Amino acid sequence: MTKKQVVKLDPKADWLKFEGKVYKSNIGWSDMGKFTKGSKLGEVSRGMASHIPIGAEIYESKERSDILIVDYMKVEKHYLLQRGE
């Protein structure tokens, strides 16, 4: 899905765009799951996210390739890759 599609479905969506793919947080099961940070992939820059501060660190999840873990100010959030139907 594109960022525009995600926002159209949920105008208040907590989204992250990374390497051309859109991820969304607050997906029930992804927030409840226990995920382990893998390699650091980068940092959030201007325009990449709706609710994450610039400089937040982005990590891969060791358990699932479609989950990114974002860490900032001792807060860890999970973002699930958004796929179209």
Q: Contacts from 3-7 at CB under 8 Å and sequence distance 24+?
A: 5/82, 5/84, 6/82
Cα–Cα dist 29/42, whole Å: 25
Phi, psi of 8 (to 5 degrees): -65, -40
Q: What pLDDT, in 10s, does the model give residues 55-73?
A: 999 999 999 999 999 999 8
Q: List CB contacts of 67: < 8 A, sequence separation 6 or more.
A: 30, 35, 61, 78, 79, 80, 81
Q: What pLDDT, in 10s, does the model give residues 6-30?
A: 888 888 889 999 999 999 998 766 5
Arithmetic mean of pLDDT, 75-80: 91
The structure's pTM equals 0.86
